[in-house]
Amino acid sequence: MTEILPITLYVLAAGGYGLFALLLLIRSQREAVALTMALAAALTAIWAGVTLAGRYDHADASLVYLTSVLKDGGWFAAILVMMDRPARAPTAWRALAALTAVTVLVHALFLSRSMDLGTFAGVRLDANLTGLLTIILGFVLIENLVRNSSRDKFWAVKNLVIGMAAILAFQFLMQVTIFLTHMAGDVLLATAPFFYLLALPLFALTAIRSPKAKLQVHSSRQVVFHTTTLVIAGIALQGTAIAAYYLRTYGGDAGTVLAIIFLFAVFVGVLWVAASNSLRSRLRLFIAENFFTYKYDYRAEWTKFIRALSAVEETGTPLKVLRTFADLMDSPGGALWVWKDNFRQFLPMARHAAHAEIKPLSPDDPLLAAFERESCTLIDLNAGEPEAAAWKALFPDHWLIVPLRYRARLVGLILLCQPRTRRTLNWEDYNLVALTAMQLAVYLMHDETAEALHDARQMEEFNKRFAFLVHDMKNTIGQLDLMARNAERFGENPAFQKDMNLTLRNSVDKLNTLLVQIRGGDPKADNMATAGNKNVNVVELVKAFVDEKQGQGLPVAVEDTISPACATISDDHTLINVLEHVVANAIEVTPADADVKVELSAKAGAIRIAVKDQGPGMSQEFINERLFRPFRTTKAQGFGIGAYQARENVRRLGGNFEVFSAEGRGTSIVISLPCKLTHSTGVL
């Protein structure tokens, strides 16, 4: 283990800094800052490789010492280049640069030649002393960089300062030990690349933030997030392994126990960090703010947003909208108000993880005054603005109020809880909120429209059914009126009296059925779907219908070519209602000296009932455009739904309704029932 760990550290340091140098040469602006940092990174990679080779006697010790000094000199040069030398005392900067160059060269000379000038005032003048002075000079350079940097520039260089300070502190500890004991600390030397690996992300951040370097690292945020997570976990495990090793080696029996406890504690800690939404959010925010020019990966954000809205859920659209927006803004939840015309209020339609009391809002509520301006994209309750005071008083533990507008009209509001990690909103956040709020408003309005359309269709179905009932009632009234008029002529006829009683009974049954349908729908329609099919002698049914009409004195004749025959249909009453309408219309247009013919025939395994009149007929244009259009009629007392209702009823029986007509040639209505026909001698 003592050999594998240093090898791994040096290999990682060489590879990491080599890649960093390559990226600076390829993806930066190639100005002085970027080129100097690239040189320092390359020297660090060379140092790691040469030092590793020197551990196994594959490189001379003087070469190892020289690459170590050059590495430090490279980073000192990067610090000097980042200083504001034109604006702040260029003479002093030149003096500091010269002092740095001399100190590094002297230290390189002492190391490479193993020079020792003896003792002066109790201090030995050798490479250990020059090394210590070089490190102190490094701290002086860092102090000058920090002191002479403006606030904006310090934001760019502070990561380099932190990284170099950590490295110099480690080197100072190691150099002081060597200076005092004149013995090299092999353990400390083995862990040297570990500190450079820790500083590498900080150096990369400096190159990205620096306006004179502008390192462009274009990568998926997910890749960066997971890579950073793995690096952090790897660093933690490396540190844990080192600590556990020394605890076990130098702690005796108790050290082994302490190592096990320490390892388990770190493992639990890593799992806790991985499961924490807040810590993951902070890491994402850190990556977005420091590694990318734009805060959001819009392609990924929009894809996730649309997929969340398109997901099939049983929670309802308002809650889906709320959760989608909350996830986008890294908030655990909130509340959603939606404008409802029926209530004339903004009603709370969804809430999730919101602890405050959510009440309806009237359109004249003072809370909504801020949203009268279309430019108001959101209200940040943490910003302390005057327009946020009223909202903050009602919802002190919440974060954002976002208006949802559809065609400049306020249709909803979203209240978000505090984000999982504190964040400062910038122009990208405002643009993203405005864009997604617009899309969510459209989504909500489409959902409202779909509900309204569903309600309208239900109302249309009810109106259609009610229109059918009124039409059936009209037909029944017509039959009673006809019977009353014929009673004056045939009242003394016993056969007519018998038919009149039968007609009255049928009319009463029809009116009672209509009342039932008005109260609770169409029971026959339901029966058609549930009662199943039954065998009905259609020929006898049609003949009985014609006999009834003839008994009423109506000019109706029947021609039968398939008697006897049965068909399997679901509802004989519906078929009778269709015949009532078709025959009544045919009688109405047929001259008084002519009959309406009802012909029964079979074709292609189906019963065909043809009702033929000798009226004026209809044009094909009228049949195509007006005959089956509801509420289009040529009759003064008609409703214009009879033909439409008859065709729909036949289709519900599984049959077909056809019209053959020409102007001046009469009309033939053919009702086809595609069922098995059965004679007494077999099957057709």
With respect to residue 489, please indicate whether it lies within any of the assigned structural domains.
no
In this structure, the answer to whether residues 30 and 114 fall within a common structural domain is: yes
Residues 445 and 554 in one domain: no
pLDDT of the residue at 624: 78
Do 278 and 341 share a structural domain?
no
SS3 352: strand
507 within domain boundaries: no
pLDDT at residue 411, as a whole number: 94
Q: Specify the pLDDT at position 178.
A: 73
DSSP characters over 219-254? --HHHHHHHHHHHHHHHHHHHHHHHHHHHHHHSHHH
Q: Which of 451, 477, 508 is the last residue of a domain?
A: 451
At a CB cut-off of 8 Å and minimum separation 6, what does 546 contact? 556, 557, 558, 598
Between the alpha carbon of residue 394 and those of residues 37, 233, 364, 484, 548, the distances in Å are: 53, 42, 17, 75, 78
Q: In what order do the strands lie in the sheet with 656-661?
A: 556-560, 596-603, 606-612, 667-673, 656-661
Q: 252: which 2 tokens?
A: 């005796």
Query: Which residue from 140, 118, 139 is spatially nearest to 129, judged by alpha carbons?
Result: 118
Nearest to 347, CA basis, from 332, 355, 336, 357: 336
Residues 100 and 241 in one domain: no
653 and 677 in a single domain? The answer is yes
Q: How many residues does the chain have?
A: 684
Whole-number pLDDT of residue 683: 41
Q: How many helices (H) and strands (E) does the chain have?
A: 21, 16
- The two three-digit tokens of residue 349, written as one number: 């339609």
Contact 538, 673 (CB under 8 A): yes
- Phi/psi class of residue 351: alpha, beta or left (left: φ > 0; alpha: ψ in -120 to 50)? beta
Angle between helices 427-490 and 317-328 (to 10 degrees): 170
Domain boundary pick from 217, 235, 256: 217
Residue 29 domain boundaries: 4-217
In angstroms, rounded to a whole number, what is the distance separating the alpha carbons of residues 164 and 159? 9
Q: Which residue has the tokens 């340091």?
A: 13
d(CA 574, CA 538): 12
Same domain, 287 and 333: no
Question: Residue 578: which of 606, 603, 542 has the closest Cα?
Answer: 542
List, for the chain, all residue ranges whose pLDDT scores fall below the cut of 70.
1-3, 84-89, 122, 151-152, 179-189, 214, 216-299, 312-314, 458-459, 462-472, 474-475, 478-479, 482, 488, 490-491, 496, 510-534, 563-568, 630-640, 675-684
Residue 408 sits in a domain of what CATH number? 3.30.450.40
- Give the domain-ending residue among 451, 478, 500: 451
The first and second tokens of residue 149, run together, are 């940097």
Q: Which two tokens stand for residue 360?
A: 């309806």
Same domain, 440 and 554: no
CA dihedral for 264, 270, 275, 277, sign (positive or negative): positive
Q: Tell me the CATH number at 577.
A: 3.30.565.10
Same domain, 675 and 530: yes
Contact 441, 403 (CB under 8 A): no
The verdict on residue 105 lying in a domain is yes
pLDDT above 70 covers what percent of the chain? 71
**Do residues 671 and 660 lie in contact, with contact meaning Cβ atoms separated by under 8 Å?**
no
In the chain, the amino acid numbered 39 is L
User: Cα 511 to chain center, whole Å?
Assistant: 55
Instruction: Give the Å distances, CA to CA, from 567 to 31, 310, 563, 575, 578.
Output: 94, 49, 12, 12, 16
Please state whether the predicted TM-score (pTM) of the whole model is above 0.85.
Answer: no
* Claim to verify: residue 393 and residue 263 sit in the same structural domain: no
Do the beta carbons of residue 287 and residue 228 sit within 8 Å? Answer: yes
pLDDT at 581: 86
User: Is 111 in a helix, a strand, or coil?
Assistant: helix
Mode of pairing for the β-strands spanning 667-673 and 398-406: unpaired
Is residue 484 assigned to a domain?
Answer: no
* 249 and 351 housed in the same domain: no
Among 571, 583, 581, smallest CA distance to 653 is for: 571
Q: How many domains does the chain have?
A: 4
Q: Is residue 472 in some structural domain?
A: no
Judge whether 127 lies within some domain.
yes
Task: Give the whole-angstrom CA distance, residue 169 versus residue 589.
Answer: 111
Number of Cβ within 10 Å of residue 210's Cβ equals 22
Q: For residues 560 and 600, is the Cβ–Cβ distance under 8 A?
A: yes
Whether residues 192 and 283 share a domain: the answer is no
- For residues 408 and 553, state if they share a domain: no
Which distant-in-sequence residues (6+ apart) come within 8 Å of 17 by Cβ? 41, 42, 44, 45, 48, 196, 200
